[in-house]
Amino acid sequence: MERFWEIDSLRGIAIILMIISNLMTDLIYFNIYGGGIFWKYFAYSVASVFILLAGISLTLSYSRASEKSFKKYLKRGLKIFSWGLLITVFTWFFIKDFVIFGILHFIGISIILVYPLIKYKLANLAVGIGIILIGIYTIGLRFTFPYLLWLGFVPSWFYSVDYFPLLPWFGVFLIGIFIGNWAYPNYKRIFNLGERNPKLLCYLGRHSLFIYLLHQPVILSILYLSGIVLI
């Protein structure tokens, strides 16, 4: 079944921007660059696009799938979550503020949690906005326990270079589900974009998970071999 070139292209652009964002995060973290508020909101913007596209892509996958059982999406979510655990192990060895619940942990869990809602449109939009608003409220709170980090209840001592709790980010994911169900009902887009084929962007978009897993080890290796960072 044909792919939608615009989704692959947008994901390709998003992965390029995410590499830039994570490079700047690394430089700031290792005190190589002072940073600034721009890069903080740049990172949030890029992550929002990436998560929206993850939600949209899930609706496309669901629409074209012959098997729509929960077991299938449970397996898919756990696979992505496992990649997140690999990043946790990798960062635990190399940096103090290692990744506990990063974007891959988040997407893996979201794929599992969203299954009962995956067919809905406006319900996902409404619930998604509600979760974002709750997340905006809780983001400024601090707690004395770490057990609900995955949800968004952050202890005062906690910091991580990659942290995407369900509050508010699951709301962004649900809005992606809404957009996918609205714009691509039954795997057909409701608008005409023509059949363009930006090959490089599409290629990057189709291999975004592999690129995401590879880019940080490459960046850190370059910084280490150049003597900029001593791990």
- 3-class SS of residue 143: strand
Q: What is the pLDDT along the chain (231 residues), one digit of tens a residue?
A: 678 999 999 999 999 999 999 999 989 988 888 878 999 999 999 999 999 999 999 999 999 988 889 999 999 999 999 999 999 998 888 788 889 999 999 999 999 999 999 999 999 999 999 999 999 999 889 999 999 999 999 998 998 889 999 999 999 999 999 999 999 999 999 988 877 778 999 999 999 999 999 998 898 888 888 876 655
Kindly report the backbone phi and psi dihedral angles of residue 149, in degrees, each rounded to the nearest multiple of 5, phi listed first.
Answer: -55, -40
Q: How far apart are CA 74 and CA 80, in angstroms?
A: 10
Q: How far are the Cα atoms of 13, 14, 57, 202, 205 from residue 9, in angstroms, in the given order?
A: 6, 9, 12, 5, 6
Domain interval for residue 194: 5-225
Query: Would you say residue 87 lies in a domain?
Result: yes
pTM assigned to the model: 0.94
Residue 125 forms part of a structural domain: yes
**Which percentage of the chain shows pLDDT scores above 70?**
98
Domain-located, residue 230: no
Domain presence at residue 57: yes
Is 158 part of a structural domain of the chain?
Answer: yes
Total domains, the chain: 1
**Residue 126 is encoded by which pair of tokens?**
């409404």
Kindly report, residue by residue over 52-108, the tens digit of the pLDDT: 999 999 999 999 988 889 999 999 999 999 999 999 998 888 788 889 999 999 999
Examine residue 140 and state whether it is found in any structural domain, yes or no.
yes
Is 231 part of a structural domain of the chain? no
Is residue 150 included in any domain, yes or no?
Answer: yes
